[in-house]
Amino acid sequence: MSTYSIFILISFLFGFSSGIEEGATMAAYDTIVVGLGAAGATAAGTLARGGRRVLALEAAARAGGRVRTERCGDGVVELGAEWIHGQFPSRVYDLAIQNNVTVRPQDLTFDIYRSDGARTDCELLNELMMYCLDVMEGLSDKPESLGDLITRKLKEYLQKNRPEVLKNQEFVDNFLDFMNLVVNNYEASNDWKDVSALSAYEELRGHQHMSWHKHGYKTFFEILLNTYNNGPGLPTLDIKFNTEVTNIRWPRDGTGDVVVTCRGGEQYTAPNVIVTVSLGVLKERHSTLFTPPLPQEKITAIDLISMGLIGKIILTFDNVFFSQSVLFYWTVDDKKRLPADDKWMLDISGATAPSGCNNTLTLWTGGDGAKLIETLPEDVVKRKVVELLQMFMGANVTVPQPTGMMRSTWYTNPFTRGSYTYDNLLMPQHPHIRETLASPLLDTAGTPRVLFAGEATDNTHFSTVHGASDSGYREAVRLLPASKI
C-alpha cells in the first residue's frame, strides 16, 4: 500500500483532516504541472519518463500553449509559433531529428511593396533594411534603445555611403517608421524605443527559420507526450484539458502538500507544482493565483518584464498569386489619407507564405493594431486586408478574394494575454530578473514547493519555443534524482 493510501486510511479511522475541502478530488501525484505549452509539456514528459506520477492541468482544450497548428487548405498553418529558431543546440530541433521528422529551412527573402504601388526604389529600401537588421543582430555595448541604436547607425551609414539620401529628411523619417514596424514584429514590442539594445538574448547556431511544414509544430508536442505516430502516451502522466487553475495553496511551513484548486471546484494535491503559465497571465492573476502571496521580489520581476504581442491574419485562396514574402512600405501621403478607423492597418508589417500550406498567406501585425484586430468583426478584417493587399500589390498582380480567414487571439485569450517577452529598457539594470522569476518557492525546510517555467524565465532564449522547452526541462531536472535524468 502506498504512503498516500495509508494516510487516507488512517484519516478515515481516526478522523484526521487532510486540509482538503469537501468534494475535493483525491489522487496521489508526485508533481502537478500547470499549463501544457512547450515548458509544461517538456516538464511533464521529462518527469513521467523519469518514473514520476504527474498530473498536467491545461485550461485550453488542447496541448501547445502559444503554439497552435490548424488544418488549412491542403496542409497546416501556425496561428502561434512558426519556426524552429536555430538548430544547435536545440531541444526542439533534436527531437524532430531523433524521431525522423523532416524539418526544412524556409528562406525568408522579402520583396518590398509600396502603398502607392511603385517599386522604383526597392533596391535602396532593401539595402537599408538589411543594414538595419545587421545592426540589430549586433546589438550594442551600452544601454540604449534599439530604436536609438539603429537610427544612429543608419545615419552614419548614409553619411558615408549615400549622403544624398540623408538630405531627404522626409524619406529618412518615413524609412525609420518602416523599420520601427519591422523591428516590432521581431521583438513583439509596441515601439523599438521600448526595446533594449543591450540584451542577454543569444541566438542559436544554424538556420533561424526551420519549418515543420506539413507536419506542423503540433508534432513537437506529440513527441514530448509520446502520442506521435499513434503513440500510447505516458503511463504515469494524467492530462486534464479544459481545466483552469484558479488557486495554488502551498505550505510555507513545510507541512502537507500543495493544493491546486480549479475553476470547477476540483482540487488536486502533490508535494510540488510546476507553474508554466505565460507572463501575461501572471501579470493579470498572480495576486489571486497563489496562497500565500508571492514574495515581493517575484512580483517585481513579473511587473518589470515586458510581454508583447504578435498577431496573424491567415488567408486562403483558390489560386496562388504570390511567390515570396513581402513587406509593406507606406508612403507619407498614403498614411495621411488613411481613415482614422483604419489606422490599425498601419501595424501590418507584411506577409509570408506558410511552408505547410500551398494556397495560404499569413499577414503579420503587432502592438495596438494587433489588439484591435482581435476584436473587430471578421468580415471587416477580411475586407480591409484584401484592400490592403490590392493597394500594395495590385499594380503587379491580381489579388483574388480569399476563400477563408483565420486570425490569432493571443491578447484577448485569457490563458495567454500576449505572445512572448522581450528585454525592455529596464532590463540592463536588472540582469538577473528572469532568474528571479524562475526561482522556486521554498518551504522552511528548503524544499521546492512551487516551481516556475516558461519562455519568460529563460535568461538567454526567452521569446522562443526552445527557450520555453529548456525551462521546463530545467525545473523537471530540479525534482529528479541524477540517476533518472
Question: How do residues 161-202 score in pLDDT, each as one tens digit?
Answer: 999 999 999 999 999 999 999 999 999 999 999 999 999 999
Residues 299 and 233 in one domain: yes
Residues 331 and 367 in one domain: yes
350: CATH: 3.90.660
Q: When comparing pLDDT for 72 and 280, which is higher?
A: 280
Q: If you average pLDDT over every residue of the chain, what do you get?
A: 92
Residues 61 and 76 in one domain: no
Look up residue 282 and give its amino acid. Answer: L
483 confidence band (pLDDT: 50, 70, 90): low
Q: Tell me which residue range forms the domain holding 78.
A: 71-90+101-108+206-212+308-407
Residues 398 and 313 in one domain: yes
Q: What's the average model confidence in pLDDT over 378-405?
A: 94
pLDDT for residue 85:
97
Q: What's the average model confidence in pLDDT over 428-435?
A: 96
Helix, strand, coil percentages in the chain from 3-state DSSP, rounded to 5? 40, 20, 40
Strand partners, 350: 327, 364
Residues 129 and 189 in one domain: yes
CA distance 59 to 41: 13
149 confidence band (pLDDT: 50, 70, 90): very high
Q: Which of 350, 375, 407 is the last residue of a domain?
A: 407
Q: What's the average model confidence in pLDDT over 234-259?
A: 97
- Other CB atoms closer than 10 Å to residue 227's CB: what's the count? 15
Q: What's the average model confidence in pLDDT over 35-49?
A: 98
The answer to whether residue 414 sits within a structural domain is: no
CA distance 283 to 332: 37
H/E stretch holding 54: strand 54-57
DSSP label of 459 = T
- In 3D space, the residue among 71, 93, 119, 45 whose CA is nearest the CA of residue 397 turns out to be 119
**362 within 8 A of 351, measured Cβ to Cβ:** yes
pLDDT for residue 475:
98
- In 3D space, the residue among 259, 304, 303 whose CA is nearest the CA of residue 283 turns out to be 303
Domain count, the chain: 3
pLDDT for residue 481:
84
pLDDT at 91 over 90: yes
Classify residue 222 by burial, with Cβ atoms within 10 Å: 0-12, 13-18, 19+: buried
pLDDT for residue 137:
84
294: CATH: 3.50.50.60
5 confidence band (pLDDT: 50, 70, 90): very low
Residues 225 and 170 in one domain: no
The answer to whether residue 341 sits within a structural domain is: yes
Share of the chain above pLDDT 90, in %: 84
The answer to whether residue 113 sits within a structural domain is: no
Q: Which of 133, 162, 194 is the last residue of a domain?
A: 194
The answer to whether residue 275 sits within a structural domain is: yes
Residues 228 and 300 in one domain: yes
The answer to whether residue 419 sits within a structural domain is: no
pLDDT for residue 28:
83
CA distance 400 to 396: 13
Read off φ and ψ for residue 358, nearest 5 degrees: -80, -20
Question: How do residues 211-222 score in pLDDT, each as one tens digit?
Answer: 999 999 999 999
Strand partners, 112: 327
pLDDT for residue 120:
55
Q: What's the average model confidence in pLDDT over 270-288?
A: 98
Residues 395 and 443 in one domain: no
pLDDT for residue 279:
98
397 confidence band (pLDDT: 50, 70, 90): confident
CA distance 191 to 368: 10
Q: When comparing pLDDT for 358 and 77, which is higher?
A: 77
27 confidence band (pLDDT: 50, 70, 90): low
Which residues make Cβ contacts (< 8 Å) with residue 294, sequence separation at least 6?
286, 302, 441
Q: When comparing pLDDT for 321 and 257, which is higher?
A: 257
pLDDT at 119 over 80: no
pLDDT for residue 23:
41
Residues 292 and 431 in one domain: yes
pTM value surpassing 0.75: yes
Residues 298 and 278 in one domain: yes
pLDDT at 11 over 50: no
The answer to whether residue 117 sits within a structural domain is: no
Residues 315 and 277 in one domain: no
Question: How do residues 261-273 score in pLDDT, each as one tens digit?
Answer: 999 999 999 999 9
CA distance 77 to 357: 6
Look up residue 121 and give its amino acid. Answer: D
Q: Which of 194, 223, 251 is the last residue of a domain?
A: 194
pLDDT at 16 over 50: no
Q: Does the CA dihedral 456-458-459-464 come out positive or negative? A: negative
The answer to whether residue 448 sits within a structural domain is: yes
pLDDT for residue 230:
96
pLDDT at 13 over 70: no
pLDDT at 236 over 80: yes
pLDDT at 1 over 50: no
Residues 433 and 293 in one domain: yes
Q: What's the average model confidence in pLDDT over 356-381?
A: 96
Q: What's the average model confidence in pLDDT over 295-303?
A: 98
The answer to whether residue 150 sits within a structural domain is: yes
Q: What's the average model confidence in pLDDT over 450-472?
A: 98
CA distance 430 to 143: 12
- Other CB atoms closer than 10 Å to residue 44's CB: what's the count? 33
pLDDT for residue 148:
96
Question: For residue 127, how far is the Cα from the chain centroid?
Answer: 30
pLDDT for residue 20:
39
CA distance 9 to 336: 75
**392 within 8 A of 112, measured Cβ to Cβ:** no
Question: How do residues 318-355 score in pLDDT, each as one tens digit?
Answer: 988 887 889 999 999 999 999 999 999 999 999 999 99
